[in-house]
Amino acid sequence: MSNVADAMIDVLAEAGVRHVFGVPSGPWAPFMDAMRTGPVEYVLTSTEAAAGFMADVCSRITGQPGACYGTFGPGATNLCTGVGAAYLDRSPVLAFTTEAPESMRHRTLQMHIDHQALFAPLTKWTTRLSPTTVRQTLRRAVQVATSEVPGPVHIGLPADIGKQAAAPEMGSAPVQQGAAMAAPDAAQLEHMADLLRQAKRPLLVVGLSCLRATGHDALVRFVERQRLPVVFSPMAKGFISEQHPAYAGVLFHALSNIVAETIQDADLVLALGYDPIEFNYEDWLTAVPLVHVDTVPADVDASCHLAAEVVGDIGAALHFLAQLPPLPHAWDLSALEDRRRRLFDTLTAPRSSLAPSQVVSAVQELLPEDGWLACDVGAHTHLIGQLWHASRPGQLIMTNGWSSMGFGIPAALAAKLCQPQQKVVCITGDGGFLMMVGEMATAMRLGLAVVVVVLVDRHLQLITVKQERQGYPCYGTPLFPAAYPTPSHYFGVPVLPATTVAEVHEAIAQGLAASGPVIVEASVDPSEYDEIILRPHKLAERA
C-alpha cells in the first residue's frame, strides 16, 4: 500500500504534470521524496509567488495543469500572488499548501490561518486531502481546474498526511480533463450570421478565450475570406501577422487612439472569445450592436447594446464563420493600412537616446521566430503589447488579467523548462526585476539559458507618468538615488550593460548564444512612455 505522498505524485504524473514549483517545509518532505525518484520534478524557487507564476505559464505552454506549493501561513499568502495570476489569466493550476492536522484546525497555532478561506476567492474550488480519498480528490481537482473557464484549485495537505497510508481505491477512473463544451445553438449561429450580413462595417475583436479554442485555422480562414478589420486583446495576439491587411491593433496599449479610429468606424462588433478580464466591454465599445461569442455569457454594462450571444464551443462557432460566403462590407482597407503604418512608424521613430522601443525592436530582430518572449508588468507592457510582432498565439507571454509586477522572470524560466530547445527572452522593468531578482539563482541552479533584459530607468515609470498627468510631482517612485555601477553578476548570472542601440544588439546576441542565463541591463530614456501611453478614458472618445 502506497502512502499519500506517493499516491498524490502518481496522480499528478497521470494528469500530465511534470514540475511542482515551490518553497519547501518539513511536512512537504515526504512529497519531495516521492518526486525524487518519480516522473514529476520538484523545482525549488526563491519565492512562492514565482512558484505560482511558473505553474501558470507551464499550463499555458503544455496544455496540462501546472502545480505549485507553499507551506503554512506566510508560504500560503505568498503563493496567493501566483495563484491569483492563474485565476484571472485563466490557467488550470493545482495549488497545494500545508495546513494544520485535523485535530488542531481550530486551535491557536504558530503560522496557522484558515487556508480554505484564504484561497476561496482566488480559486475555482478549495478542499483538503484525506488518506481515504486521495486519488478521487485529485482527479476531481484536475477536472475542475481544466473545465471552462479554466483556473486554479487549492488543495490543503494536513501536516501529518504525507506518510499516512493511502486507502486503495478500487475501480477508479483515470484522470480526465474538463468535459468538452457543447456546440452553440444553431439558432444563435444563424442570428449572428444575419447580423453580419446586415452590417456595413462589422469589426472583429479577438480575445483571450480564443487561445483555448480548437480550430485556430478556422479563425484565420474567416479573416482571410472576409477581410474585416481585426482588433486583439493583448493576450490574444498572434493569430494573424501584424502586417496582415486586416490587422487593426491591440486594445488599450500604446497609441490606442489610432486603434480607436477603427473601432469608431464600426457599425457592429463581433467579439470572438472576448474575456472582459482584460478590459470591460464598456471601456472601449461604442453604441453599436455587440455580438458576443464565448464559452460563457457576456458580462456587460447596461450601456452596451448586446444584440446577440453565441455561447458554447468557440471552435464550433469559428468553423461556422469560416464557412460563410464573403460578406459585402464598406470598409476602406487602405485607411486601415494607413493607420497601421502610423502606429508602427510612431512606435519605432528615431530617438536621440536609447529608448525602450529600440530595445524591444532589438529583441524582435534577434529572437528566432519560434522563440518565446515573457513580458513583465509596467510602462513597457503598453509598448510591447502594441509593438511586438507575435508569430503565433501565446508566443508573447504576459499577464493582463492579474497584471502583477514580477511575472516576467518566472514566466521566462517556466517557458525554458517546458521548451528547452527554444530561445527565451524576458523583458522587465527595473521595478519588476527587483521583485524577482532572487529567481536568477533559480535560473543559474537549473542551468536555464534565458536572457533577461532589464529596462533601467530607475523609477516605477508607469506610476510616475500617472502622477504627472494628475498634476502631482514625482514622489515615492524612484528606485535608486542615482545611477549605480553595473554589477558584474547576480548570483553568478553575468550582467551585460548597454547604453546604445549597438550595445543592446551585441549584448542580446551574446545572451542568446550563451549556455546559461544572462542579464542585459539597458539604460533607457523613458520619455517616450509619456507620448505613447494614453490617458485612461474610454477608447471610443479618443478618436
272-331: pLDDT as tens digits: 999 999 999 999 999 999 999 999 999 999 999 999 999 999 999 999 999 999 999 999
- Find the CATH number of the domain harbouring 217: 3.40.50.1220
**Residues 337 and 353 reside in one and the same domain:** no
pLDDT of residue 540: 42
In a domain, 164, yes or no: no
Please tell me what DSSP assigns to residue 203.
E
Q: Which three cell numbers stand for residue 475?
A: 514622489
CA 372 → CA 41, 368, 398, 418, 442, distances in Å?
A: 22, 9, 11, 11, 19
Confidence of residue 543 (pLDDT cuts 50, 70, 90): very low
**Residues 251 and 318 reside in one and the same domain:** yes
pLDDT surpasses 60 at 30: yes
Domain boundary among 298, 313, 341: 341
Can you say whether residue 316 is alpha, beta or left, with left for phi > 0 and alpha for psi between -120 and 50 degrees?
A: alpha
| Proportion of the chain in helix, strand, coil states, percent, rounded to 5 | 40, 20, 40
pLDDT surpasses 80 at 169: no
**H-only helix segments in 209-332:** 216-226, 256-265, 314-322
**Residues 375 and 473 reside in one and the same domain:** yes
Q: Which three cell numbers stand for residue 201?
A: 462595417
pLDDT tens sequence across 97-108: 999 888 777 877
In a domain, 168, yes or no: no
Confidence of residue 171 (pLDDT cuts 50, 70, 90): low
**Residues 399 and 332 reside in one and the same domain:** no
Domain boundary among 341, 375, 396: 341
pLDDT of residue 536: 43
pLDDT of residue 462: 87
pLDDT of residue 525: 94
pLDDT surpasses 50 at 224: yes
Tell me what percent of the residues of the chain surpass a pLDDT of 90. 86
**Residues 124 and 227 reside in one and the same domain:** no
Confidence of residue 446 (pLDDT cuts 50, 70, 90): very high
Contacts (Cβ under 8 Å, ≥6 apart) of 384: 360, 373, 375, 396, 398, 427
**H-only helix segments in 273-400:** 314-322, 333-347, 356-366, 379-387
Count Cβ atoms below 10 Å from residue 469 Cβ, excluding itself. Answer: 12
Compare 532 and 71 and report the one with higher pLDDT: 71
Question: Once rounded to an integer, what is the mean pLDDT over residues 400-408?
Answer: 97
In a domain, 432, yes or no: yes
In a domain, 201, yes or no: yes
In a domain, 173, yes or no: no
**Residues 414 and 527 reside in one and the same domain:** yes
pLDDT of residue 172: 64
**Residues 378 and 240 reside in one and the same domain:** no
**Residues 412 and 431 reside in one and the same domain:** yes
Least reliable range by pLDDT among 21-25, 35-39, 71-75, 286-290 = 35-39
CA distance 297 to 311: 6
Provide the whole-model pTM.
0.95
Confidence of residue 178 (pLDDT cuts 50, 70, 90): confident
In a domain, 174, yes or no: no
Q: What are the residues facing 127 on neighbouring strands?
A: 155
**Residues 299 and 375 reside in one and the same domain:** no
**Residues 144 and 220 reside in one and the same domain:** no
**H-only helix segments in 109-207:** 115-119, 134-146, 186-198
pLDDT surpasses 70 at 537: no
Domain interval for residue 252:
186-341
Confidence of residue 170 (pLDDT cuts 50, 70, 90): low
pLDDT surpasses 60 at 542: no
pLDDT of residue 108: 77
pLDDT surpasses 60 at 538: no
- Count: domains in the chain: 3
- Round the average pLDDT of the chain to a whole number and report it: 94
